[in-house]
Structure 1
Amino acid sequence: MGPLAGELSAAPPSCGPVRLIAVDGHAGSGKTTFTARLADALAPTVPGGAVPVLHLDDLASHEALFGWTGRLLDQVVDPLARGVTAHYEPYDWTTRRFTAPRALPAAPVVLIEGVGAGRAAVRPYLTRLLWLERTSEEAWPRGRRRDGIGLSAFWDMWTVAETRHFLADPSRPYADTLVRECKEGYELLPGHPTTA
């Protein structure tokens, strides 16, 4: 993880003064865990030693599982591009409502993780797009086990929505790096970025 962290922190900014890094992949692929480890690895390489993380689950909602592009661009990307702290309203999945604004500083490196983080509308602002290399057939059962039987109906709805999303707006073909979990931690493979 160290070499990747060094590479990312040394890359030129992509969103105003911010190096915006996206971690995408199927639900249940391990994005949140990987992103937390990447943030820890990046922390010593950036001034201030803190790497903010935006979880796209905070921008999605029951009514708009993938309809958060406008909110991301308006509430997060636009302020970061201007070098100011962003404020977004996280969604509470239990009460089914958006809550009080949460700050996201315009740090030297900011991580965005979640299904669809590498969508076409976001890619122009990204320094790098990382893809967790686990198929939906592998990832979705992991997610279902993690969330338990109580969310099985939600998962039934989610898998249909995710399939439709990636058919219309795939991220993997544009990934700079493919991340594969292995016994030693993570194996990093070159992606095949193409012109958006």
Structure 2
Amino acid sequence: MAEQVTVDELVELIQKHVTSGQGGMTFVAIDGPSGSGKTTLAEELEASSLAVTVVHVDDFYSEEGVDPPGGMDPEDACDEYVDWLRLFELVLEPLKDGDNGYYQVYDWVAQKPDTWVTIEPRGVLIVEGVYAMRPELRKAYDVKVYVDTPQETRLNRLGERSDNPVWVKRWAEAEVWYNDNIKPIDYADVIVVGV
């Protein structure tokens, strides 16, 4: 099991990677269940002394992920809700090669990709969100963080986010499948609790 750390200890760990690197970017994944505090943690790291760019996995929602009327089984939903290949090919791979990364921010109101963002290959890149540590993406990261927060706290937060209980249920089922079968916590370098 990964070591449990505070936010300050995580900043120190990332800083060690930055200073020991070859001048390129340091890549950090923040994964964990919905409502666990991944975005909050990314914001705290962004406010630290680190030069951070944050990419949200939610911006890679897949048009293929739109549920058919009867829904999808959780495994298929886990594979379809997020376009991980686009995240890899447009952001992670070019930045690893020292080139600019780019992507479109997803507009959840209009339900389509919107504004283009360009990321220069410098500082720390944080990819935060459920599915950030998919097997296809893991090798790209220097530091892998799992955020673990009590279920009651997470469910309270989720209840405040959506008025579509059918969608929340389907997303939650896919997320449970991901956590039970892909087991991102097993691949984390560190765990941050209760953000």
Q: When the two structures are superposed, what TM-score results if normalisation uses the length of structure 2?
A: 0.79
Distance in structure 1 (CA, Å) of the matches to 2:44 and 2:84: 26
Distance in structure 2 (CA, Å) of the matches to 1:84 and 1:101: 16
Shift of 1:155: 0.7
2:16 pairs, out of 3, 10, 17, with 10
Distance in structure 2 (CA, Å) of the matches to 1:117 and 1:7: 19
Task: Give the CA RMSD over aligned residues.
Answer: 2.2
- The answer (yes or no) to whether the contact 1:19–1:127 under 8 Å persists in 2 is yes
Q: Which runs of 5+ in 2 are unaligned?
A: 1-6, 66-79
Residues 23-172 of structure 1 aligned to structure 2 (within 5 Å): 23-43=30-50, 50-61=51-62, 63-64=64-65, 66-135=81-150, 137-138=151-152, 140-148=154-162, 150-172=163-185
More contact order relative to length (CA 8 Å, sep ≥ 6): 2
Q: Tell me the amino acid that sits aligned with residue 81 of structure 1.
A: K
Hey, what does 1:22 align to over in structure 2? 29
- The answer (yes or no) to whether the contact 1:61–1:91 under 8 Å persists in 2 is no
Percent of counterpart pairs with the same letter? 26
Shift of 1:178: 0.8
Distance in structure 1 (CA, Å) of the matches to 2:93 and 2:135: 16
Q: Tell me the amino acid that sits aligned with residue 60 of structure 1.
A: Y
Shift of 1:61: 3.7
Q: Which runs of 5+ in 1 are unaligned?
A: 44-49, 187-196
User: More displaced, 160-169 or 112-121?
Assistant: 160-169
Distance in structure 2 (CA, Å) of the matches to 1:142 and 1:61: 26
Hey, what does 1:46 align to over in structure 2? none
Shift of 1:130: 0.7
Distance in structure 2 (CA, Å) of the matches to 1:173 and 1:10: 22
Q: Tell me the amino acid that sits aligned with residue 176 of structure 2.
A: T
Q: When the two structures are superposed, what TM-score results if normalisation uses the length of structure 1?
A: 0.79
Q: How many correspondences in the alignment?
A: 173
Shift of 1:82: 1.5
Hey, what does 1:191 align to over in structure 2? none
3-state SS, counterpart of residue 135 of structure 2: coil
